[in-house]
Amino acid sequence: MPYPLIPEYCTKLRRPEEQQLKSAIQRVMGIFKSNLFEALLGKSSLWSYSHSLSLLGQVMLI
């Protein structure tokens, strides 16, 4: 993974009140690792880094 700090941080989230954040981070990591996400980034000029951050914000709210 290109950003090892994120999974490392996620492993440090152990308290019960941190589990919702940990779950959201894991969902986002799964999205970024998915083949579909990679394909959308490669084939659509509408997808950019700012859209990725917007997606991250939406997932964090779930």
Per-residue b or e along 1-13, where b marks 16 or more CB atoms closer than 10 Å to that residue's CB: eeeeeeeeebeee
Tell me phi and psi for residue 55, to 5 degrees: -60, -45
Per-residue pLDDT tens digits for 8-23: 899 999 999 999 999 9
pLDDT over 50 (residue 1): no
pLDDT recorded at residue 19: 95
Q: Domain spans of the chain?
A: 5-61
**What are the tens digits of pLDDT across the range 4-57?**
788 889 999 999 999 999 999 999 888 878 877 777 777 554 445 555 556 556
With beta carbons less than 8 A apart as the criterion, state whether 27 and 59 touch.
yes
Tokens of 30: 């799964």
What stretches of 1-62 show up as alpha helix (H) in DSSP?
Answer: 5-11, 19-33, 35-43, 49-61
